[in-house]
Structure 1
Amino acid sequence: MKKKWDKRFLAGCVISVAVFGVIMGLFMNGVFSFLGRAKSEGSDTLVKAIRQASVQCYAIEGRYPPSVEYLEENYGIQIDRERYNVFYSGFASNIMPDITVIPAEGGDDSDWQP
């Protein structure tokens, strides 16, 4: 009787470890998927924030801001300069500026792979 119990116990342990491994694999896959999506959307979110602050500046002051630094000082925009390069080009104070955000070389977005 003892031998039969040992085989069931061993089979139960193997099955439990296998199920745990599968669940952990699925969990880690989900985490990496979420992190990859969040990092890829970081530059898009920054462009939207800069664009919204520019429009707000235009509504309040009657002109688009002269630079991104102006938005940082007066409208609360925060840019992680180690992760992103921001190119802000305004043609005139009454025309919406061209805003481009590129992940910085060596930043988290540039070489991250799940």
Structure 2
Amino acid sequence: MRVDRRSRRRKSQTKGYLLSAAALLLLVGVFAAGALSFAGKAGQKGEESLRRAVTRASVQCYAIEGRYPPSVEYLEENYGVRIDRDRYNVFYNGFASNVMPEIVINPIEEEEARR
């Protein structure tokens, strides 16, 4: 009878180990999903923050100089706008010096940045 009890104990220990391993894998998966979600949201906020900075600097330039800036480079040189060119492409289309320019921010995909 002792042999049966030991056998049952080993089986229950094995089940416990398997349940613990499964719970650990589940926790790691949930953590990884959360981290990826956070990274995605941070990227979106960075894009929106850059769009607001370029827009704000354009309006400030118009208020000070009486015209919208001719380019994004002008904003970088004269109004302190900083653009991470490794992460974002900025398209700035000014129709006329007295019309608010169209500002488009496109994030660069990681694969494109490596090329």
Taking structure 1 as the reference length, what is the TM-score of the superposition? Answer: 0.74
Aligned residue in 1 for 2:39: 35
The one-letter code matched in structure 2 to 1:108 is E
Distance 1:109 1:76 in 2: 29
Aligned residue in 1 for 2:59: 55
**Are 1:108 and 2:110 an aligned pair?**
yes
Gap regions ≥5 residues in structure 1: none
Equivalent position SS for 1:69: helix
Q: Which has the higher contact order (CA 8 A, sep 6+)?
A: 1
Distance 1:72 1:48 in 2: 14
Evaluate the alpha carbon distance shift between residue 66 and residue 109 of structure 1 in structure 2; reply closer, same or farther with a 3 A threshold. Answer: farther
Aligned residue in 2 for 1:64: 68
Structure showing greater Rg = 2
Aligned length: 109
Root mean square deviation of aligned Cα: 2.5
Q: Deviations over 1:86-109 (max 9, x none)?
A: 2212233222111122344xx428
Evaluate the alpha carbon distance shift between residue 45 and residue 86 of structure 1 in structure 2; reply closer, same or farther with a 3 A threshold. Answer: same
Gap regions ≥5 residues in structure 2: none
Equivalent position SS for 1:102: strand
**Are 1:94 and 2:95 an aligned pair?**
no
Aligned residue in 2 for 1:26: 30
1:72-87 paired onto structure 2 within 5 Å: 72-87=76-91
Equivalent position SS for 2:91: strand
